[in-house]
Homo-oligomer: A and B are copies of this chain.
Amino acid sequence: MGRRASAAAETLRNASADDRTDAIKAMAAAIRRHADAILSANARDMAGATAHHDRLRLDEDRLEAIAAALETVSGLPDPVGEEMARWQRPNGLDIARVRVPIGVIGMIYESRPNVTADAAAICVRSGNAIILRSGSEALQSSLAIHAALAEGLAEATLPEDAVQIIPTADRAAVGTLLGGLNGAVDLIIPRGGRSLVERVSKDARVPVLGHLEGVCHTYVHESADPDMAVAIVRNAKLRRVSVCGATETVLIDRAAATRLLPLIAAALQGCELRGDAESRAVTPMAEAGEADWHTEYLAPVLSVRTVAGLDEAVHHIARYGTGHTEAIVASDAAAAEQFLDRVDSAMVMWNASTQFADGGEFGFGAEIGIATGRLHARGPVGPEQLTTFKYMVRGTGQVRA
């Protein structure tokens, strides 16, 4: 499997951008053509599933959305071969830094069948081969989607091996993939719950791009516009509570707490609040314990802490944050710029909801995940982030002194 992926990666890398575009379009068409087979495979998965029913379920509308997403990816700019920089040296050497695909990506995910198609399309767009490892609950759906994708690739001029899937639910296969398949796998991307990502990060012998969890913060500065603070906190927490960019903790300036906290609490109907003593003195709510500041609830629960000011907010985030996304709501531009500067998360925002932490919202067209490590790519990982570069040096016979 690794050898076939490496060979396919070389073909993909040397294919033209149009070849890759045509292949993704053919993949979309094949998904539509095989809708019946995919939906009946999904029905078998649903019959065997014990949980995650909504994430797992496909219907005609969702399948059409998957095909449409592939078409979107087919229309994204192709990053391969892009000249990122070019300069001349005094000795006449001409040096260009040029984007190239990473190579072979191993994708390990859980129960969302659409990831099979999305990840494959983003990898083909960026010239990478992919080896998919679907969660067992979604395996029949993933296999059926993969069969369609492979047919699409074969119809176009690209090798079917560019998109492979591990055909069993055998857990040992994950270990083999994490081992890198004898050097064939260049990067692992895990997408799923904390336990999956932890296992991948611990056992992988090749680089990993992903995030363990998103304990995201929204800091309401004393200069915040009240209406904006309420609207942003409500959206950051409640738009979708299960996404990694959802705010889990609100920090609020002491000077603004009495004025703003009651308004914020009133706007968060249906959301459990857990606060420190000062917040509770202003607005009745449950008591937050030390564990709350560390918790990614992914649920309608929000921890609330009063801070003395920007310094304390920045320190709280440095201590409890996970480097994902943090926002400040402030009218004071100098304070906001300080926050943007000092908070060292992948995404820092001023007067915007943390739920904008998303490749689509960033304009990347699609994302294969979000990374919170410090190397290679941080934040949303789209086609461009799945490339690396090489240097092309053009000379006229230069030798080194």
CA distance A399 to B396 in the complex (A): 55
- Given the interface contacts A102-B375, A390-B346, does A232 sit within 8 Å of B397 by beta carbon? yes
* Chain B residue nearest in CB terms to A97: B379
A374 to chain B, nearest CB (A): 5
A328 to chain B, nearest CB (A): 10
Residues of B within 8 A of A376 (CB): 375-376, 388
* Chain B residue nearest in CB terms to A96: B340
Establish whether residues A95 and B362, one from each chain, have CB atoms under 8 Å apart when the complex forms.
yes
The reply on A164 being an interface residue by CB < 8 A is no
The reply on A14 being an interface residue by CB < 8 A is yes
CA distance A361 to B351 in the complex (A): 45
Residues of B within 8 A of A13 (CB): 344
The reply on A228 being an interface residue by CB < 8 A is yes
Residues of B within 8 A of A353 (CB): 398-400
Q: In the complex, which of the residues B318, B345, B388, B399 contacts A231, with contact meaning CB atoms closer than 8 Å?
A: B399
The reply on A320 being an interface residue by CB < 8 A is no
Residues of B within 8 A of A87 (CB): 363
Residues of B within 8 A of A199 (CB): none
- Given the interface contacts A14-B341, A395-B351, does A235 sit within 8 Å of B400 by beta carbon? yes
A5 to chain B, nearest CB (A): 14
* Residues 67-113 (chain A) with a chain B CB within 8 angstroms: 81, 87, 89, 93, 95, 100, 102-103
A183 to chain B, nearest CB (A): 11
A336-347: CB near B (< 8 Å → 1, else 0) gives: 100011101111
A342-362: CB near B (< 8 Å → 1, else 0) gives: 101111111111011000011
* Residues 160-217 (chain A) with a chain B CB within 8 angstroms: 186-187, 207
Establish whether residues A400 and B355, one from each chain, have CB atoms under 8 Å apart when the complex forms.
yes
Establish whether residues B396 and A351, one from each chain, have CB atoms under 8 Å apart when the complex forms.
yes
- Given the interface contacts A350-B394, A375-B388, A388-B378, does A232 sit within 8 Å of B399 by beta carbon? yes
Q: In the complex, which of the residues B186, B207, B361, B379 contacts A207, with contact meaning CB atoms closer than 8 Å?
A: B207
A95 to chain B, nearest CB (A): 6
CA distance A86 to B239 in the complex (A): 27
Establish whether residues B399 and A239, one from each chain, have CB atoms under 8 Å apart when the complex forms.
yes
The reply on A393 being an interface residue by CB < 8 A is yes
- Given the interface contacts A362-B95, A376-B375, does A398 sit within 8 Å of B356 by beta carbon? yes
Residues of B within 8 A of A393 (CB): 347-350, 352, 356
Enumerate the 8 nearest inter-chain pairs by beta-carbon distance, A residue then B residue, closest first. Answer: A352-B395, A235-B399, A349-B393, A228-B397, A376-B376, A355-B400, A351-B395, A375-B376
